[in-house]
Structure 1
Amino acid sequence: MTSNSEKNPFIQAVEFVLESRLGGVVINFVLIPLLVLSALLLPPISLADRLLSIGYSSIGTDGGAIRDPDGMQVTFLPEGVSRSFRVKLTAIPRSQFLEGAAGEALIPAAESIPPNLIMKSPYYRIQRKGTAPTKVMLSIPIPNESEPYQTLDLYSWNGDAWEWLPNRKIVTEDVIESELDFLPESVVVMQTHAVHPAVSTNYPPNTPLPENVRDALVEINPQGMFLDNAGAIIGEPAPLPPEAEAAAFSVIPTIRNWGDDGSIRSDLVDNMLIDPEARQRHVQALADIVQQNAYQGIDIDYRGISPDLKPEFTAFLNDLRAALPPTALLSVRVGLPAQISADTWDTGAYDWQAIGKVADIVKVPALPDPKAYTPGGQMDAMLDWAVGQVNRYKIQLLLNTHSIEQFNGITRNITYQQALEPLGTVTVVGGENIVGPGQTLDFTLAGLQASTGIQFDAASGTYWYAYLDGNNLQHTVYLENAASIARKLQYIAQYNLRGIAVQDLLSQSSDPEIWGVVRKFLDLVIPPVESQYSVVWRVKNQDGGVIAEEIADLSQPNYEWTAPEAGGSYEVEAAIATNRDANASIPRGSVALLVATPTPTPSPTPTPTPTPEATPTPEPTPTPKPQPKQEPAPQAQAQAAPPPSGVGNVPFGYGIQADPRGNTAANIGHIKALGFEWVKFQMPWKDVEPSPGGYSWGMWDELINAYNANGIKVMLSIPKAPDWARPPDDDKSVEGPPQDPNKYAEFVARVADRYRGKVQAIEVWNEQNLWYEAGGRGRINPGAYVQLLQAAYTAIKSVNPEMIVISGALTPAGNVGDLAMDDIEYLQQMYANGAKGYFDVLGAHPSGYNCPAMGDWQTVQDPTATNFRGPFENRHHSWCFRGTMEGYRNVMLANGDGGKSISPTEFGWAVSSNPQPGYEYALDNTYEEQAQWIVEAYQWAKQQGWVGPMFLWNLDYGVTAPGTELAAFGIINTPAYNALAAMPK
């Protein structure tokens, strides 16, 4: 039968091939092997990958670890593994690697090891297949014979160069650890060696730059540029003298947010960092300055940055690095870290590892405490940690030539010359400065007898001394001299750091011998320095010629001089020198002397006269030797009835409180610049009369005279009884009143009498409704305070009727058990106990917390105040400025005392990004709000007609007590300062 359709030709061809002998060969020897091979190569078997991954370990998303037999381990943390991968660890012996026997690919690595690095461990090669992990922990055994361990580092060869790795040495476990956000291709333990040290210093305007200094510096940082609002820059780098143009050092100007007086504008940095446009504007401005002036880089010195802005500051530095020319150096000063534990440090806003990656130079401040420099002390601990955070060859230790003074819980930097001032000035023993020929005079340094003399602490390499000031307060001075600098330079060699940055190295007020130590350091020579202090005495004639010179040990500083037969004017001067080097000494004053030679008068020729009989001369009656007369105390009465007359209604005035131990000249200038007329100081009674009848007026005389000479009125707040005057059973750990009010009355009367016409007002006590001003818990007593007020008022008026007497300002508070008494209730009880008539002005402390100046305490709201909610959720008058002022006014009116003024003797608003405990409300306030509210408070008060002198708290504690709660209220270099200066008066 014949088919009615033909087969497809393609099918026929396939059938022919399959049925033929050739087809069998193709199927058996081609197709089937190909299918088998594909099955082996493709997932899930993946034979090729398995063959190529022999020796690799698989790491899943749960993490894992690989370990070499000698103990080197790589751990992969689960949070850093997003997908499984394979990894292989190979330890190549050091000798094999260095000889080039580890394969051609690693020969460049062996040949590229820098001369300052010595390979100590095997070359640990790490190979990976798959997705890279992002959380890795390396643990490498510390190699044998690799001491000192603080010089060890970890490095990785990345195929092009050796890359430093952050690390931590755990000597007790004999390992070095490294936490990374990537997996390096290799790891090697290297022993570091010293490099030629880099020396840099800041350059203030118009400073001499001697040739020997120019030749030694590697880098100089001209000062003069400052961060301004919105990322702008004000000022210009100080121009270098013409002779410095040919110098070989790099010129890298500094940009700062702090002034020469130490005041820090952290708000300018914080605002710039949180504003992307301002940050980019600032980056571009810095890059333009570097490029347009052909500077070799830029030095960033921003302080007080909010720790919350650590990521933003790091981003700013990364942006700046990208904007700068590739050859420009980026230098960054980090903040002083705070030690949390033996090997943990808090760096605030400065991410040291991130900064170390982007910066070429990292300036690390040396610790300020001299005790930190004892062997194995805190400085060692800090540098042990620091060289694991930042490549040591980028670290410049930032030293300061300023000495340190500690007193009354305050630490401040002073120049070397200022540090030697308390050792005394030239004085003639006996006080004579007009002498006859041949008369012997004895000279000494007045003040030295009240000190311990200069002592040496061998452990820290520090010279120090202690002395008592005019108020019987102990001061301890640590001298920053050649010896202490030499001790600090030892750390550069000990840790193989990049070098040093010496602040104020060019200053004429530093120890002249420091520069000699630095020059020797350039040759990696750091000899121990011993500073033997002596007094260089010189006598000059009236032409200025030196006619005598003698050097005496400072411990026996007296100098004896015999006046010459030739009369005339002479000058005896003294200077303190080290190691008897008279050419490098610090002047300590001079005394002018007059050697009086009597001129003989010719006698006329005598005419002979009869000789009279001798008349007995009566013997003189001995005059009693005058006895020392005690300073008379004005008579003080405990209470007078009726009270003395007051001074009438005291008008409004602009005032501010300043630190009496601050910079007097600078503060007078500030107060005048503000257009203010009053200043307030707190004069603690216990400081001025530490023992009965033993008065220390010195500092106060000088201070009050200075302000009086500049036309500034002075108000003294006088609290804090000395222990000898207090009740035997009160709490001496806090402040408190005297047992006998008349003792206080006697003291304030003495103040009123002594400073008649120079001090215009006295405030009687301070915040007596608080337990720690009232003598302890349970001792708050309005009646007892009124007795003190009555006695003080009567005594003051008895010697100085014109003195304005202000009642002690209460602190705004509610009733808090035996700790505090509601201030309005306290004021009411003052009137009930007879306070009326015994003050001219009512004192007040209308604190603002985070309540606006014009806020009504009963209704005020601020949803942005997230750190402190007291004023908004716990209604009370004490939270708000007007609540306190108007509350007091109502009490005065109710007691028929509305004709008197209220004087805010302390008010203000705190601002801080890192407030002290109890001052958290400062986080909610901005510098702009502070400025606005202070101005509004002054303007409102002036309009009332019943507000007297008004004292802002405070002017300068941000300079004298940085980091404390006092500093949060300071206004120097803040918008508030500028706003008050511009405020119409």
Structure 2
Amino acid sequence: MQGATLSGGRGRPSPMRFIVLALIGIAVLTIGILAWFFFGRGSSECSSDYCETSLATIEIPADFEQHSKLFERNPNADPVPDGFDLEVAIPLEVPTTDDRGLSIYGYSTESQIWEPIASIVLNETGELATGRFADPPEYLAVFRRLNEGRQVVAYLNRNDTLHPTAALLATVVHTFDFTPAPDGSLEGQPSPRPATTAVHYPVISASSEIDGSVPNVDNILSTGADRTNHVRQILQRVAAHRLAGIDIAYLDLRADHRTSFTLLISELAEGLHAQGKTLTLTLPAPLKGIDRIDEGAYDWAALGQSADLIKVAPIRDQSTYRLHLPEILEHITAVVDPAKVILTITPYASEKSADGVRSLTLTEAMTVASKLAIRSENMEVGGDIQVVAVNIDRDEGLSGLRWQPETATVAFTYKLNGGRTVWIENMFSAGFKLEFVSVYGLGGLAVEDSSANVFLGNIWTAVEPFVASGQAVLLQPDQDQLLPRWEVTAGNLVGGERGLVTWQTPLEAGSYTVTLTLSDGVERFESRIVLFLESLEDEPVEETP
């Protein structure tokens, strides 16, 4: 074998058989190593399970340091028997005794990502990395992951239950517990610690969506005395509740509060750090102007000096997300240590209209997309009735449900008060957003709502492999998955893929159900309409004179 050695040995047969197989495994391992040294290097034709390759089309992630050559699975290799592992011993290009972050990674051409498949054991000289796995990947190599310390921040509304995957992956949990009062004190009580090993930092939040909270912050920032009083109130509550830290999420502040807010955070950070506590911030993303990045009320450079972490709040408008975010992140990471910067992704869909952008659950968005109506006056047997999904009817000039490459989301447009666009967040869109975390070397990711709410898009299926491998899964749904599917309890259906279907009704009167099934590429949603067919009335008979 060229570049690796193999052996078997998992499963629990009888004790005697286990011993025999173990001896065979040792023999195979020894022979494999000898074959590599004496035959693999000198032969141009590889007959081993894995063979050295130089396939240039496979990109090595920026977050990884390659420590071995790339090996490809021999298509003629025997399959691994059920209950057994394949053991590989991979030569390292530079010997090392430091195994921190070293693993064997496998690459799948289907998912186009590298995934950890085995931990490694170094030999005494640090020249070979040995690992075992049951499912041989197409390609493998030894990598050292350079950024294993990435944060996974989970936001959680009070009294909500943490998503099971969030409970496993989160390093920080923020519960929305406090708001600033007019006198500078805090309203609210800390939530019980969520069932997770993550640290718990409650949030003090103010925004235009929380009645009266922004004016309260305006008052707090109006004088130095009010500012200092607010800091003292926070420190007292942190100490009284024995909190490990706190998050400040004061959004929608006026630009003229920039200096005062910076001083508030500096004073609060000094007090918290003196107690061994942590201060994190949630800030709105700067705005991309014509010729500059506008930070508004938030001095990122100064705030980055004070805070331990800064989370970039979700950007709702997807029409400019991928256009503006690169410049925004370049600006932020130029003035703040990238390891402190956390990009927040959201499970909420966004709807843009002339009135602005609002958030929708996945279920709400798909309910809009699957709204049904009838475009026929006669509801009689033996005729044709048109049933239409009014908000995705492409014959009316609408987009239908489709993948938007420019926004990397599943989206649709519909007519209501001047027209609206809905962008859906799911595992596909989340993967393309997580790519920014890797590209800009950020300190991690945050999820806006990490609850187990089944009506939200499940973006954790994108977060989980990203946390495991450090790479975003960049996939998109097939357009066929996004097409409407129609069913009816009787009769025939004609057309339907463009959003309008013709129902050729049966000859028997009664109630019938037409069902539309729509998918965002992940989940399926049904919308039903019940129609009652009337019998044809007997034609009147003319009397002959």
Q: Does 1:215 align with 2:194?
A: no
In 1, the alpha carbon distance for the partners of 2:211 and 2:449 equals 18
* Structure 2 contact 309–341 (Cα < 8 Å) conserved: yes
* Structure 2 contact 348–456 (Cα < 8 Å) conserved: no
In 2, the alpha carbon distance for the partners of 1:554 and 1:228 equals 54
Aligned-residue Cα RMSD (Å) equals: 4.0
* Structure 1 contact 535–557 (Cα < 8 Å) conserved: no
**Rg larger in structure:** 1
* Structure 1 contact 452–465 (Cα < 8 Å) conserved: yes
Q: Does 1:403 align with 2:342?
A: no
CA gap of 1:378–1:617, structure 2 versus 1, over 3 A, is: closer
In 2, the alpha carbon distance for the partners of 1:511 and 1:445 equals 22
The one-letter amino acid of 1:484's match is S
- Tell me by how many angstroms 1:595 deviates: 8.0
Say which SS state the counterpart of residue 327 (structure 2) adopts: helix
The one-letter amino acid of 2:285's match is L
* Structure 1 contact 482–513 (Cα < 8 Å) conserved: yes
Aligned to 2:543: 618
1:226 to 158, 163, 179: 179
Aligned to 1:283: 231
Say which SS state the counterpart of residue 422 (structure 2) adopts: strand
Q: CA offsets per residue over residues 919-972 of structure 1, 9 Å max, x none?
A: xxxxxxxxxxxxxxxxxxxxxxxxxxxxxxxxxxxxxxxxxxxxxxxxxxxxxx
CA gap of 1:340–1:569, structure 2 versus 1, over 3 A, is: closer
Say which SS state the counterpart of residue 342 (structure 2) adopts: strand
In 2, the alpha carbon distance for the partners of 1:384 and 1:366 equals 17
Q: Does 1:461 align with 2:408?
A: yes
In 2, the alpha carbon distance for the partners of 1:214 and 1:352 equals 30
Which one scores higher on RCO, CA 8 angstroms, separation ≥ 6? 2
Matches within 5 A, 1:426-441: 426-428=372-374, 430=376
Q: Does 1:250 align with 2:195?
A: no
- Tell me by how many angstroms 1:361 deviates: 0.9
Matches within 5 A, 1:330-479: 330-340=279-289, 344-374=292-322, 377-408=323-354, 410-428=356-374, 430=376, 443-449=387-393, 450=396, 451-469=398-416, 473-479=418-424
In 2, the alpha carbon distance for the partners of 1:593 and 1:466 equals 27
In 1, the alpha carbon distance for the partners of 2:362 and 2:430 equals 13
Aligned to 2:498: 555
Aligned to 2:147: 194
Matches within 5 A, 1:969-980: none
- Tell me by how many angstroms 1:499 deviates: 1.3
- Tell me by how many angstroms 1:536 deviates: 5.2
- Tell me by how many angstroms 1:362 deviates: 0.3
Matches within 5 A, 1:746-761: none
CA gap of 1:210–1:333, structure 2 versus 1, over 3 A, is: closer
Matches within 5 A, 1:565-584: 571-579=513-521, 581=522, 584=523
* Structure 2 contact 155–450 (Cα < 8 Å) conserved: yes
Instruction: Decide which structure has greater helix share.
Output: 1
In 2, the alpha carbon distance for the partners of 1:575 and 1:508 equals 22
CA gap of 1:423–1:306, structure 2 versus 1, over 3 A, is: closer
CA gap of 1:219–1:357, structure 2 versus 1, over 3 A, is: same
Q: CA offsets per residue over residues 19-40 of structure 1, 9 Å max, x none?
A: xxxxxxxxxxxxxxxxxxxxxx
- Tell me by how many angstroms 1:332 deviates: 0.6
Q: Does 1:494 align with 2:439?
A: yes
- Tell me by how many angstroms 1:569 deviates: 6.3
CA gap of 1:555–1:511, structure 2 versus 1, over 3 A, is: farther
CA gap of 1:264–1:196, structure 2 versus 1, over 3 A, is: farther
CA gap of 1:446–1:381, structure 2 versus 1, over 3 A, is: closer
Q: Does 1:592 align with 2:509?
A: no
- Tell me by how many angstroms 1:364 deviates: 1.7
The one-letter amino acid of 2:287's match is A
Q: Does 1:535 align with 2:480?
A: no
Q: CA offsets per residue over residues 869-923 of structure 1, 9 Å max, x none?
A: xxxxxxxxxxxxxxxxxxxxxxxxxxxxxxxxxxxxxxxxxxxxxxxxxxxxxxx
In 2, the alpha carbon distance for the partners of 1:506 and 1:564 equals 50
* Identity fraction in percent: 22
Say which SS state the counterpart of residue 345 (structure 2) adopts: strand
1:485 to 417, 430, 448: 430
The one-letter amino acid of 1:228's match is A
* Structure 2 contact 384–502 (Cα < 8 Å) conserved: no
The one-letter amino acid of 2:543's match is P
CA gap of 1:503–1:563, structure 2 versus 1, over 3 A, is: farther
CA gap of 1:231–1:489, structure 2 versus 1, over 3 A, is: same
In 2, the alpha carbon distance for the partners of 1:194 and 1:202 equals 22
In 1, the alpha carbon distance for the partners of 2:319 and 2:392 equals 24
Say which SS state the counterpart of residue 286 (structure 1) adopts: helix
Aligned to 2:267: 319
Aligned to 1:328: 277
Matches within 5 A, 1:825-840: none
* Structure 2 contact 403–410 (Cα < 8 Å) conserved: yes
The one-letter amino acid of 1:618's match is E
Structure 1: gaps spanning 5 or more residues:
1-114, 117-191, 541-546, 598-615, 621-985
In 1, the alpha carbon distance for the partners of 2:190 and 2:483 equals 40
Q: CA offsets per residue over residues 232-262 of structure 1, 9 Å max, x none?
A: 211234446xxx43x1122211111226x46
TM-score (norm 2): 0.61
1:514 to 447, 459, 482: 459
The one-letter amino acid of 2:306's match is V
* Structure 1 contact 445–557 (Cα < 8 Å) conserved: yes
- Tell me by how many angstroms 1:429 deviates: 5.4
* Structure 1 contact 465–478 (Cα < 8 Å) conserved: yes
Say which SS state the counterpart of residue 390 (structure 2) adopts: strand
In 1, the alpha carbon distance for the partners of 2:496 and 2:461 equals 23
Q: CA offsets per residue over residues 514-547 of structure 1, 9 Å max, x none?
A: 231122222223222313413355679xxxxxx9
- Tell me by how many angstroms 1:296 deviates: 2.9
In 2, the alpha carbon distance for the partners of 1:564 and 1:505 equals 52
CA gap of 1:289–1:432, structure 2 versus 1, over 3 A, is: farther
- Tell me by how many angstroms 1:226 deviates: 1.0
In 1, the alpha carbon distance for the partners of 2:168 and 2:192 equals 18
- Tell me by how many angstroms 1:385 deviates: 1.6
The one-letter amino acid of 1:288's match is Q
Q: CA offsets per residue over residues 61-84 of structure 1, 9 Å max, x none?
A: xxxxxxxxxxxxxxxxxxxxxxxx
CA gap of 1:553–1:323, structure 2 versus 1, over 3 A, is: farther
Structure 2: gaps spanning 5 or more residues:
1-99, 102-144, 536-540
Q: CA offsets per residue over residues 479-502 of structure 1, 9 Å max, x none?
A: 334333222111001111111222
* Structure 1 contact 425–590 (Cα < 8 Å) conserved: no
CA gap of 1:617–1:257, structure 2 versus 1, over 3 A, is: closer
Aligned to 2:37: none
* Structure 2 contact 179–204 (Cα < 8 Å) conserved: yes
In 2, the alpha carbon distance for the partners of 1:199 and 1:555 equals 41
CA gap of 1:494–1:569, structure 2 versus 1, over 3 A, is: same
Matches within 5 A, 1:882-961: none
In 1, the alpha carbon distance for the partners of 2:466 and 2:310 equals 20
In 1, the alpha carbon distance for the partners of 2:229 and 2:266 equals 14
Aligned to 1:271: 219
- Tell me by how many angstroms 1:223 deviates: 1.5
- Tell me by how many angstroms 1:387 deviates: 0.9
* Structure 1 contact 415–509 (Cα < 8 Å) conserved: no
- Tell me by how many angstroms 1:351 deviates: 1.7
- Tell me by how many angstroms 1:428 deviates: 4.9
The one-letter amino acid of 2:447's match is V
TM-score (norm 1): 0.36
Aligned to 1:298: 246
Aligned to 1:701: none
Instruction: Decide which structure has greater strand share.
Output: 2
